[in-house]
Amino acid sequence: MPILKQKNKQIQPARLLIFGFATIIITGTILLCMPFSIRNGQFGNPVDCLFTATSATCVTGITLLDTYNYFTPFGHGVILLLIQVGGLGFLTLVTFINLMLGKKLGWSTVKMAASDLTDDAMATNTKKLFCEIVLYSFGLEALGAAVLCIAFVPDFGALGVFIAIFTSISAFCNAGFDLMSAHQGAYGLSEYTGNPLVMITMIVLILLGGLGFIVWQNIRHYKKLNRLLLHTRVVLLMTSVMFVSGTLLILIPEFNNPATLGNMPVGEKILTSMFLSASSRTAGFVCFDLNGLLPFTKVAITVLMFIGAAPASTAGGIKVTTLAIIVFTVISVLKGRDDTYMLGCKIKRDAVYKTFTVTVLSLAFIAVSFTAITMMCETLKLHCVIFEVVSGFSTTGYSLGTSAEMNAPSKLIMVLAMFAGRVGPVTLMSALVARKHNSDKNKILPEGNIMVG
């Protein structure tokens, strides 16, 4: 009697993604705890090292420890590797390596890898897309590092080459980590706010990393398609609007604030505001102590952090496309339309449903995290906690120093917030909730009505 082979159950893509990131974080934590990763030669605090590894892998940038002075060059290398893997995505790198080794990928493997990017990726040549993602990313990071070397090598000597590479990768991956404390007295990029070469290079790297891989490919193959996809047009439009509005929301209130932009020349104020606008949408690089910001500016930056950049990018937040769909849905409802229309196209209803699901889950996760931390750390200021939680969940990395004042359980909540923000709230909940066969799919159910508003 022939033996029937049972088909191997495929791991749910959401669970594979979470398992991959969790494995990388745990490995990074172990390496960062080792004496050879820490300058004093002792074992590191497990919670602080877990926090750092999560912040790097989730390309967040919130730090409890001085990256340059606390960790050895080996530790810096571990953090840089975590940033690179986290920025490009675990499944993207695995797929690329398999392709480089000549291994054939089954459809299920390709589909799982594409789920780390976006559903639209499946409409393209997926294998070619993965190769382009990695090669273009490395190419842009190398170009950025070469430009930054012009400024960093004269200031740091041979160390400036590594700092340029580290900073370029961190900027492109929207990670927010830096080694600028190698320059005594430096606060982030405070020493380079008057250097257009450094500032503009950083802005370009951050924005390119935040546009998303699908946008790159569409622009690159524009001549073949002879059109820009709706996704690309929305991302470019929203990115421009967010960048300009963010610049004005920082420049105008902080123009005469001596704790931030007040003492800078006008040109430097504008350039710094542009840099902070780009950075506040999930990159997290700073030029001064953010505690000096006015309350209005802190609120504006919190909103920018929550929105984030584009899907299938190195950035976090709910994404600019999510905001766009919400705005155009509201407009469509006010005009009495049954569907959402955007830039001459009708948006699929499942996209609208997913948009509101992402937004509601994100707000819920932030609210729960905020409540839990304030209950465990009653001495912390409420506005500082909400700023920190939004920064962690959106994987921005801006900090008012609140994370360093938290107790161990609160730091672990921040770790979970960063992790959820990187993999996405929908992905996280999909992995936790067991999916069953939809028995109601073919049922004809009565239509219900409910009053809204």
pLDDT digits (tens, 9 = 90+) for 92-120: 666 666 666 566 555 455 555 554 444 45
CA dihedral sign of residues 122, 123, 124, 129: negative
Give residue 113's pLDDT: 52
> Taking 50 as the threshold, does the pLDDT of residue 1 lie above it?
no
Give per-residue pLDDT as tens, 400-450: 999 999 999 999 999 999 999 888 887 777 767 755 555 555 677 787 777
Mean pLDDT of the chain: 86
Question: Which positions ≥6 away from 35 have C-beta within 8 Å?
Answer: 41, 42, 43
* Residue 205 reports pLDDT greater than 50: yes
Question: Highest-confidence range of 13-27, 81-95, 112-126, 322-336, by mean pLDDT?
Answer: 322-336
Q: Which amino acid is at 141?
A: E
In the numeric block, which tokens belong to residue 117? 């990017």
Q: Is 345 helix (H, G, I), strand (E, B) or coil?
A: strand
CA 325 – CA 323 distance, rounded (Å): 6
Q: Could you report the per-residue pLDDT of 186-203, keeping only the tens digit for each?
A: 888 989 999 999 999 999
Which residue's entry shows tokens 């929105």? 307
- What crossing angle do the helices spanning 349-376 and 320-334 adopt, rounded to 10°? 120
- pLDDT > 70 in the chain, percent: 85
Residue range 35-69, pLDDT digits in tens: 999 999 999 999 999 999 999 999 999 999 999 99
